[in-house]
Structure 1
Amino acid sequence: MNVIDNTEMRHFEVVEGDRLATIEYQIQEKKYFLTRVEFPPKFEESGKGEEMLKLTLDMIEETGMRVVPMTKFVKQYFKNHRERKHMLPVGIHL
């Protein structure tokens, strides 16, 4: 899976056939606020949504910035993957 950081549109994206999967973000105070996810039909159910988020978090981690999960999907990922807890800003507990 090839995740692209489309900085102009402020989202991470994956092209799936003729559809686009996106994880939208805003950057404030050295933090990525992941504000919205939009996946093609069956993308999430097939596990591709989680794979995309994992790769997205890998990209963010390389920047040294923190992540503020703003969607149910991203919050649930952090709950299920405690090894990523270090990416959350101080004071955010899920």
Structure 2
Amino acid sequence: MTAIELTDNEFLRQFEATFDDKMAKIEYSLQERKIFLTKISMPEGTEGHMNDFIVSVFNEVEDRNISLVPTSPEIAKFMRSNRRKYKKLLPVGINI
């Protein structure tokens, strides 16, 4: 995995990372002890960094000790593909 400098833009409620001078974003909604990842935006030409970006966000969520609910189709697909590794991030009763 490539080292990614992740920024949490709390004002815009999105995680940001820059790849090849282009900003990628994962928008979120924070409710109680859950973070809902609602949308991912990868600029053209940066799609190859998407998995590393998602992993960085998942690691940040884990460090904050909160639950994660992937509502974006791309993030939910990543979660399903890596279910064993990230299942512990899901709130009780939520299956992806």
For normalisation by structure 2, the TM-score amounts to 0.89
Amino acid at match of 1:70: T
Alignment counterpart, residue 19 of structure 2, candidates 11, 16, 36: 16
**Paired position in structure 2 for 1:41:** 44
Gaps of 5+ in 1: none
Number of residue pairs matched by the alignment: 92
Gaps of 5+ in 2: none
Aligned-pair Cα RMSD in Å: 1.1
Query: Could you tell me how far apart the structure 1 residues matched to 2:93 and 2:51 are?
Result: 24
**Paired position in structure 1 for 2:70:** 69
Query: Could you tell me how far apart the structure 1 residues matched to 2:46 and 2:13 are?
Result: 21
For normalisation by structure 1, the TM-score amounts to 0.91
**Paired position in structure 1 for 2:6:** 3
Amino acid at match of 2:88: H
